[in-house]
Structure 1
Amino acid sequence: MKLTEIELSKPVRITNMACSNRLVSRRLNDLGIMEGTLISIIKRLPFGGPITLEASNQWISIRRSEALQILVEAV
């Protein structure tokens, strides 16, 4: 399932990082967001705004369009 489809605060594991933008993909890897990482959604802003994730005790906001390209599985 896509990252945007999970419930708030539900932990999931990343199975595929298919970001089309190489810079975004590299930045997420630098922050520790990669395949196999446990994450959860903390906030969703309305009207297609960014999504705030928690991974390894840090909060990271990404665009909704990038979150649509990240596939996850329930833990």
Structure 2
Amino acid sequence: MVLTELKPGSKGIITDLSSIDQSIQRRLLDLGVLEGREVCYKCGLPFGGPCMLEVSGQCIGIRKKEAMRIQVECL
């Protein structure tokens, strides 16, 4: 399943980041978004706005199109 399919407040384990552009993938790695890491989907803002995630104790916002390419396994 993709990250945006999680319900707000749900947690999952990141399983695949390979479908994201290399430069964006590098930036996500800098922010702690790694395969095998637990992620909490906080919310998606309306009208296709950014998605809020909590990874490694920090909240980050990423574009919805990138969030839709992150594969997760629901916990």
Match of 1:45 in 2: 45
Q: Which moved more, 1:19-28 or 1:47-56?
A: 19-28
Instruction: Give 5+ residue unaligned stretches, structure 2.
Output: none
Match of 2:30 in 1: 30
Within 2, Cα distance between the matches of 1:27 and 1:20? 11
Normalised TM-score (structure 1): 0.93
Match of 1:66 in 2: 66
Question: How far 1:18 moved relative to its partner?
Answer: 2.5
Normalised TM-score (structure 2): 0.93
Q: How many pairs align? A: 75
Match of 1:11 in 2: 11
Match of 2:21 in 1: 21
Question: How far 1:34 moved relative to its partner?
Answer: 0.9
Instruction: Give 5+ residue unaligned stretches, structure 1.
Output: none
Answer yes or no: is the 8 Å Cα contact 2:20–2:70 preserved in 1. no
Question: How far 1:69 moved relative to its partner?
Answer: 0.6
Any idea what SS the aligned residue of 2:41 has? strand
Within 2, Cα distance between the matches of 1:20 and 1:74? 20
